[in-house]
A and B are shown apart, each in its own frame.
Chain A
Amino acid sequence: MGSQLLAAGLAAGEAPEEWNLDRPDVVSGIHRAYFDAGSDVVQTNTFGGNRVRLAETKCLYSVEEVCRAGATIAKEVQPDDRMVAGDMGPTGLSFPPLGQADEKELEDIFAEQAAALAGAGVDLLSIETMSDIREAVAAITGAKSVCDLPLVVSMTFRKTRRGHFTIMGDPLLPSLQSLLDSGASAVGANCTLSSNDMCALAQEVNNSSAGIIIIQPNAGEPQIVTDGDSHEIHYPEGPDEFASNLRPAIQAGVDIIGGCCGTEPGHISALARMREKTTQ
């Protein structure tokens, strides 16, 4: 969604969620494109739709307003056999020593957003791009305090010499287990890792976990392409390369696969074709 909005003219530092009210046609078009490409689930344009992030981006609208609008737009174009996930990203607040956040505060913030999304009729909640297990658990707890929707919870891991960790140092498998123990219905990873690396992470999780797994890789690492005085951001992995790299994950039975930064509807169509090819 983010990449699509930037392509449609969203400025750096502008709150994407504002477009749910100011340019709903653009947001609607993006959802339609993803449903047409074969998405079983689309995520609402509410990644930063919590009160902390909205205040930071000086958004003109409230949590309730952007989340209700975001959910409604997606539901209006939702085919009968597909789903709409209410998207919830991190607050940007950190626990000590990096910041002053505490669990209760975060639970309230996430509860507020979850209530707005659930109230607007989403089918499930997608909590994603979490770098701190404590924030992720607070999101689960907050969401569960206001609704019964299934929770798909995804964290962002980096590859290090010692294995996969978040930037805060949370290790892959124990973190995903904590998420399950806290009440997540599906767990996994999104962002930072490209399709190859994410596929390897998926294998690692698949081999050990008994849960429903989700992965959403980036389309490679972004590069700046210079053309005279103008610079464009280019993600190197095209749809076919992306889908082909993820084939092992499909074959291994990873339950939910999507795309994060740099992916477009084309990547999803390629995935859908690869799925058909693989499960034949």
Chain B
Amino acid sequence: MSTKTVEERIRDAVLDGDADLARELAGEALKSETPPRQILNLYIAGIREVGRLWEEGEFFLPELVSGAEAVMAALDVINPAMSESESGADSEEQVAVIGTVQGDVHDIGKSLVSNMLMARGFEVIDLGTDVSADKFVDAVEEHRATLLGLSALLTTTMLAQKSVIEKLAERGLREKVRVLVGGAPVTAKWAEEIGADGTAEDAFSAADLACKIVGL
């Protein structure tokens, strides 16, 4: 029986949703002086595999959530090491504000996106659910966010995404931030119609799109 490589063990920890093991392996990798960013990329590869299995209809919500938790556990260990090794780096931190719109309390998808954005290097301000347009805009202003994510699970609450974008414009902030909208009823057509900068089908592609759109 062959022993697994570090890459395989990390990937399996994410696929199995084993947060404790994920954290442990990250620690071990850091001790063996692997660069933090390289370690992080292994976890991102793991969560991409989770996303692929979700697409295939093999993985469902529980696996997505525990996979994301495993990555977050590893990040706990990797992030401090990363800021040490990259302090003084010229890349400005990207800040993302995210939340579920007013009248809507669904949060699983939004929290997954939140986690994926963190894994990809964003500082994430997660406002939770049932968030008013004013609260979104205040947060964008306060945190100088470069990305705003709006989640809605119901066709009825989806309309609030339009209100937030309008409010951003009213307060002269529309140009300062890229807006991504998402949720089960959200389509590319809707995103375009309300003047959002994009939408994605799931948390994994949302994080890809977010990075692309802010130039990360």
Bound complex: CA A92 to CA B105 (Å): 10
Q: Is the CB of B103 within 8 A of A169?
A: no
Given contacts A56-B105, A224-B190, contact A98 B157 (CB under 8 A): no
Q: Is the CB of A222 within 8 A of B185?
A: yes
Q: Is the CB of A6 within 8 A of B65?
A: no
Given contacts A6-B156, A168-B62, A169-B60, contact A97 B185 (CB under 8 A): no
Bound complex: CA A166 to CA B60 (Å): 8
Partner of B60, one of A92, A167, A231: A167
Chain A residues with CB under 8 Å of B193's CB are: 226
Chain A residues with CB under 8 Å of B60's CB are: 165-169
Q: Is the CB of A13 within 8 A of B130?
A: yes
Chain B residues with CB under 8 Å of A6's CB are: 156
Bound complex: CA A126 to CA B88 (Å): 62
Asked whether B34 is an interface residue with its Cβ less than 8 Å from the other chain, the reply is no
Chain A residues with CB under 8 Å of B12's CB are: none
Interface of A is mostly: loop
Interface 1/0 per residue, A167-196 and B, CB below 8 Å? 111000000000000000000000000000
Asked whether A208 is an interface residue with its Cβ less than 8 Å from the other chain, the reply is no
* B180 to A: closest C-beta gap in Å: 18
Bound complex: CA A233 to CA B159 (Å): 10
Q: Is the CB of A13 within 8 A of B159?
A: no
* B74 to A: closest C-beta gap in Å: 16
Query: A11 — nearest CB in chain B belongs to which residue?
Result: B103
How many of A's residues come within 8 Å of B, CB to CB? 22
Chain A residues with CB under 8 Å of B22's CB are: none
Chain B, range 46-72, C-beta contacts under 8 Å to A: 56-63, 65-66, 69
Partner of B103, one of A13, A97, A233: A13
Asked whether B127 is an interface residue with its Cβ less than 8 Å from the other chain, the reply is no
Interface size band for B: 20 to 34
Query: A167 — nearest CB in chain B belongs to which residue?
Result: B61
Chain A residues with CB under 8 Å of B56's CB are: 161-162
Chain B residues with CB under 8 Å of A160's CB are: 57
Partner of A97, one of B17, B57, B162: B17
Q: Is the CB of A224 within 8 A of B63?
A: no
Q: Is the CB of B57 within 8 A of A165?
A: yes
Q: Is the CB of B108 within 8 A of A98?
A: yes
Chain A, range 195-242, C-beta contacts under 8 Å to B: 222, 224, 226, 231, 233
Chain A residues with CB under 8 Å of B13's CB are: none
Chain A residues with CB under 8 Å of B63's CB are: 169
Q: Is the CB of B69 within 8 A of A224?
A: no
* B84 to A: closest C-beta gap in Å: 31
Which residue among A97, A98, A161, A165 has the maximum number of chain B CB atoms within 10 Å of its CB? A97
Chain A, range 136-186, C-beta contacts under 8 Å to B: 160-163, 165-169
Partner of A222, one of B58, B59, B155: B155
8 further A-B contacts with Cβ under 8 Å, apart from A162-B58, A168-B61, are: A12-B103, A12-B156, A13-B102, A13-B157, A160-B57, A222-B155, A222-B185, A233-B155
Q: Please report B residues at the A interface, Cβ cutoff 8 Å.
A: 17, 56-63, 65-66, 69, 102-105, 108, 130, 154-159, 162, 185, 190, 193
Q: What are 16 A-B interface contacts by the 8 Å CB criterion?
A: A6-B156, A13-B102, A13-B103, A13-B104, A92-B105, A97-B17, A97-B62, A160-B57, A162-B58, A163-B57, A165-B60, A167-B60, A168-B61, A222-B155, A224-B185, A233-B155
